[in-house]
Amino acid sequence: MQPPEARASWRIGVVVHPSRDIEDPLHDLLQWARQHGVEVVQIPVGGQDREVAPPGRAGDCDLIVSIGGDGTMLGALRAAVPVQRPVLGVTCGSLGALTSVSAGDVPDALGRFSRGEWLPRQLPALEIARDDEEGLFALNDIAVVRAGIGQVRTSIHLDGELYCQIAGDGCIVSTQLGSSAYAIAAGGPLLAAGAGAYVLTPLPTHGGSCPPLVVVADSVVRLQIRIGAGAARLEVDGQPVGTHEGWLTIGLRPDVATLVELPDQESLLAGLRRRRVIVDSPRILAEEHRTGSAS
């Protein structure tokens, strides 16, 4: 992409958290834009009625900036996918894994982006086909979750072969990015950055043994969902999208979204340690405290 500063004019679209205090980073963004002759518009996303700039379309922007946490960032990324625009995440009172810029560093980050001093981090997405319904995509995960009474019965097939049949609360299918979110909270494995794979993690089950399944990128997972007295709710990137019974066909498509990455930003593993998603053994921590060798 040609650096924006090399063009006569360019535009920033913003997506903001609906309630969090974002005044300081928003002020810095608007001030930087005024100083550099850059137009700022607000990109509409579902469930967001907080107005901070004139409305605009993602396709008319050179950059989309998310100000908030991971949920805000996912909304911005989903808005950017159809028009293939890069997204820069500003963390605002959040411990998010997706946001790469702290609230006080907005002017510096925008300057670096405008000069082309950034790296495009390509994110894959899950493609989900449903019986006789519109397809879905997920940048983090899709979850099949028990809704109400009764258990969800799920038959899991990998490339046409039955893997396991479970009855319980449902399951989660996650990208590498999403493996550090709902999936890891449910006991699933963490996929390292750049892993060409995705993962299926069962939610609590009524007996049996169905360990999490790491799936290579070109394989296909099919889930047959059956319900009893209750229902099975689908959640895509944390947002409910309705109930489902029948088949889901899930695959991984590379390079769906573009995240703005600055060369000196924190790595995924360092971020997980900072957020204490990954915590060292108490014995190790006690030894380091005693010897003063904490890393």
Query: Would you please indicate which residues are annotated as catalytic (active-site) residues?
Result: 70
Other beta carbons less than 10 A from residue 278's beta carbon: 14
Distance CA 262, CA 264 (A): 6
Torsion of CA 183, 185, 189, 194, to 10 degrees: 60
Tokens describing residue 235: 């959640």
Instruction: List b or e across 204-230, with b for residues whose CB sees 16 or more CB atoms inside 10 angstroms.
Output: ebeeeebebbebeeeeebbbebebeee
226 phi, psi to nearest 5 deg: -125, 145
CA 60 to chain centre: 23
Distance CA 85, CA 149 (A): 42
* Burial grade of 107 (CB within 10 A; 0-12, 13-18, 19 or more): middle
Task: Show Cβ contacts of residue 279 under 8 Å, excluding neighbours closer than 6 positions.
Answer: none
Measure the CA angle with vertex 260, ends 106 and 33; round to 5°: 35
